[in-house]
């Protein structure tokens, strides 16, 4: 049975920079997305092919969902690159983490087996970085939309003690978002990884299939939740701008 480790295993180093199996699969996910985007860009046409049709349908559904939160297509198109990038990157990395080569192909070192690939979101470092990027992107977009003074006045104000205290709590909540974002994604993906390993070891043939399909669905749901929470926080950050 494959050893279950909560920490991503180091494969090699580039200078002082460690390259782990989760980082390697994250890079593969980026390459897959980049190649797909390049191929799609080269074959753009007025009459879409299958690949372009799939992505146009995805973009239309995503924009429709964003419209319900942001209240207009213009705003949805403005923030679509961020939300779509977050969703597709997490989705592809989650699904690639379910491929048969993940966890089964690796190297042996000191009588231990180190998988060459590991689901990126099963590494807490990966989810923490995604959460930091998401939270800071929301802050930057809020500053761009309403200005630094108005944006940060909701955190720091001396109008009255109640608003001052509430602002400080909201400022602390921004850092709590990083923890909740990262542990929600990490917990679900890591739990699924452990489940598949255990089921595959106990009953290695037919029984793992339903759980595998379940993890495909979970990977999609977790990507959608992360992207939609980011969208909601973006909408809250630019809400004052929209009112004007």
In a domain, 121, yes or no: yes
In angstroms, rounded to a whole number, what is the distance separating the alpha carbons of residues 131 and 133?
A: 5
The model carries a pTM of 0.85
Q: What total number of domains does the chain contain? A: 1
Q: Residue 16's pLDDT is what? A: 84
In a domain, 56, yes or no: yes
In a domain, 40, yes or no: yes
In a domain, 65, yes or no: yes
Q: Residue 243's pLDDT is what? A: 44
Q: Which residue has the higher pLDDT, 4 or 32?
A: 32
Mean pLDDT across 109-122? 81
Tell me which residue of 240, 233, 191, 239 sits closest to 215, measured CA to CA: 191
Neighbouring C-beta atoms of residue 158, cutoff 10 Å = 9
Tell me which residue of 241, 109, 116, 123 sits closest to 187, measured CA to CA: 123
Indicate the range of 43-52, 60-69, 91-100, 131-140 predicted with least confidence.
43-52
In angstroms, rounded to a whole number, what is the distance separating the alpha carbons of residues 109 and 107?
A: 6
Neighbouring C-beta atoms of residue 127, cutoff 10 Å = 26
Q: Residue 26's pLDDT is what? A: 92
| Residue span of the structural domain in which 46 resides | 10-243
In angstroms, rounded to a whole number, what is the distance separating the alpha carbons of residues 15 and 21?
A: 17
Cα dihedral 233, 174, 26, 144 sign: positive
In a domain, 61, yes or no: yes
In a domain, 4, yes or no: no
Residue 131 bridge partners (DSSP): none
Model confidence band, residue 210 (pLDDT cutoffs 50, 70, 90): confident
In angstroms, rounded to a whole number, what is the distance separating the alpha carbons of residues 170 and 92?
A: 33
In a domain, 2, yes or no: no
Model confidence band, residue 159 (pLDDT cutoffs 50, 70, 90): confident
In a domain, 204, yes or no: yes
Largest Cα separation within the chain, whole Å, is 66
């Amino acid at each position: 049975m494959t050893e279950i480790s909560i920490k991503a295993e180091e494969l090699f180093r580039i200078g002082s920079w460690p390259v782990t199996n989760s980082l390697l699969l994250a890079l593969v996910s980026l390459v897959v997305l980049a190649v797909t985007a390049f191929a799609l860009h080269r074959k753009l046409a007025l009459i879409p092919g299958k690949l372009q049709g799939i992505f146009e349908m995805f973009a239309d559904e995503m924009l429709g969902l964003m419209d319900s939160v942001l209240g207009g297509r213009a705003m949805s198109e403005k923030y679509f690159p961020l939300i779509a990038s977050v969703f597709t990157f997490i989705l592809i990395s989650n699904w690639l983490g379910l491929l048969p080569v993940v966890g089964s192909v690796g190297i042996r070192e000191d009588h231990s087996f180190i998988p060459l690939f590991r689901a990126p979101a099963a590494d807490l470092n990966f989810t923490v970085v995604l959460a930091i990027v998401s939270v800071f992107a929301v802050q930057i977009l809020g500053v761009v939309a309403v200005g630094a003074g108005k944006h940060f006045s909701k955190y720091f104000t001396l109008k009255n003690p109640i608003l001052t205290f509430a602002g400080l709590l909201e400022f602390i909540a921004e850092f709590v978002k990083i923890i909740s974002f990262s542990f929600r994604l990490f917990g679900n993906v890591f739990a699924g990884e452990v489940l598949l390993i255990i089921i595959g070891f106990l009953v290695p043939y037919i029984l793992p299939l339903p759980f595998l399909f379940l993890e495909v669905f979970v990977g999609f749901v977790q990507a959608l939740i992360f992207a939609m929470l980011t969208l909601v926080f973006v909408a809250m950050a630019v809400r004052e701008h929209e009112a004007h």
